[in-house]
Amino acid sequence: MLSYYKELYFYIQKIVRDKEYAKDITQETYARALESQPNTPILNKRAFLYRVAKNIIIDQARKNNKNHLINFEEERFISEDKQAEEKILQINENQFLLEEIQKLPKKRKQAFVLHVVDGYSRKEIAVLLNISVSAVEKHIARASFQIKESLENNKDVVYE
């Protein structure tokens, strides 16, 4: 069987494209072939060596592929955890904003919600609330300032 060593080595090297790795696989091929020889008679030793080498290459490729899949799966779960954390922070922030909006005086709250949440223009809000456009602008500006100030004063509460 040693007469096929160089031929087998070059065959393996052609497949794996790495000299050292090819030597390792060739050595493993002969080790496995010698282990199996007493159990079964080998009619075509050359074909048997090629078959063992091919199986080792396939096994190694599967093993390496599983490692890549495991790493990929770990990255996927890590990124999902970060997304979950971001979602929780967003929920906390939204809850805080809702509470702050509820604290606003009635007209200020109405003007702010109609403009920011519902998307009405200042003129439309003025007509709906029966106030001037200037008053609507003041309500929206004061509500925005009040919420922003409250958010800055309570950063620890919102982002915990």
Q: Which top CATH class is 2-71?
A: mainly alpha
pLDDT in tens, 67-92: 554 455 445 555 555 566 677 667 77
In single-letter form, the type of residue at position 52 comes to V
Instruction: State the average pLDDT over residues 52-72.
Output: 74
Question: Which CATH architecture best describes the domain 104-158?
Answer: Orthogonal Bundle (1.10)
**Mean of the per-residue pLDDT values of the chain:** 81
- Count helices and strands (H / E) in the chain: 7, 0
Instruction: Place 48 in a pLDDT band, splitting at 50, 70 and 90.
Output: confident
Say which residues have a Cβ less than 8 Å from residue 160's Cβ, sequence separation at least 6.
92
**For the chain, what are the domain ranges?**
2-71, 104-158
Say which residues have a Cβ less than 8 Å from residue 14's Cβ, sequence separation at least 6.
none
pTM of this structure: 0.45
